[in-house]
Amino acid sequence: MINISETAADRLKEMLAQQETPGMFLRLGVAPGGCTGFSYAMGFDDKESDEDLYMDIQNMKVVVEKENLKYLNGLEIDFEESGMSGGFTIHNPNAVATCGCGSSFRTKEDAGVPDKDC
């Protein structure tokens, strides 16, 4: 299960409404890399495959590759405003280590290959 706060969902829905391609949805995933092993991937997409799992979260279509669900199960996404700026925050209960900027993580079961550039 993935949780998206109402604030984050509202912001994502606003962003989706601005997309020019019809039928776009939120795609969440992970990719090898980053300081601690894996980097989060969050973006809009309009193509699904048999490898994808569909979820309805906050009345929004969210798609995750089945293979990535083990890293994202329990994920919590929020949006926090801070003065003149704001941004999405991610809390991942599967992460045993995260980098200082919070954009990459490592799990106990599958550490990945840390990126030397970080």
Q: What's the confidence (pLDDT) of residue 103? A: 59
Asked if residue 117 is part of any domain, the answer here is: no
Asked if residue 113 is part of any domain, the answer here is: no
Query: Could you tell me the CATH number of the domain that includes residue 99?
Result: 2.60.300.12
Asked if residue 112 is part of any domain, the answer here is: no
pTM: 0.80
Confidence of residue 7 (pLDDT cuts 50, 70, 90): very high
pLDDT > 70? residue 6: yes
Asked if residue 114 is part of any domain, the answer here is: no
What stretch of H or E contains 82?
strand 76-82
Asked if residue 118 is part of any domain, the answer here is: no
36 closest CA partner among 100, 99, 116, 102: 99
**Mean pLDDT across the stretch 51-66?**
96
Give the residue numbers spanning the domain of 32: 3-107
Indicate the number of domains in the chain.
1
Asked if residue 87 is part of any domain, the answer here is: yes
pLDDT > 90? residue 110: no
**Mean pLDDT across the stretch 82-93?**
83
Q: Give the strand pairing for 3-4 and 76-82.
A: parallel
Q: Which of 11-15, 37-41, 86-90, 111-115 has the lowest mean pLDDT?
A: 111-115
Q: What's the confidence (pLDDT) of residue 69? A: 92
